[in-house]
């Protein structure tokens, strides 16, 4: 079973999974994606919160043993990587 998502208390659940992956992205690409997907709910304050949170979240997940996946890769490439790691 594959589960995808994020939760405020996920650090208390990571040990329930055999493997954990994290999509990683650089700041400039994140900004470009935020610019390409404008939303009235995504105020500049929310955008800044997203910017500030990305490096912290990525570092925390990697420190917890998450396997990094390049978020700029194609979906097919990401799927191939995940399947190779889990050896399906």
Beta strands in the chain (DSSP E): 21-24, 67-70
Chain Cα centroid distance, residue 52: 14
User: Residue 29 has what pLDDT?
Assistant: 95
User: How far is residue 11's CA from residue 17's CA, in Å, rounded to a whole number?
Assistant: 11
Mean pLDDT by 10 residues, the chain (88 residues): 85 91 95 87 90 94 95 96 90
pLDDT of residue 87: 87
The C-alpha atoms of residue 67 and residue 47 are separated, in whole angstroms, by 26
pLDDT at 88: 67
Domain boundary assignment for the chain = 10-86
pLDDT of residue 69: 97
């Amino acid at each position: 079973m594959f589960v995808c998502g994020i939760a405020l208390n996920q650090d208390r659940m990571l040990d329930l999974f055999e493997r954990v992956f994290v999509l990683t992205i650089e700041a400039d690409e994140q900004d470009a994606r935020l610019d390409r997907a404008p939303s009235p709910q995504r105020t500049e304050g929310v955008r800044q919160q997203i910017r500030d949170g990305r490096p912290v979240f990525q570092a925390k997940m990697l420190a917890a043993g998450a396997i990094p996946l390049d978020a700029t890769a194609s979906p097919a490439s990401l799927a191939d990587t995940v399947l190779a790691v889990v050896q399906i």
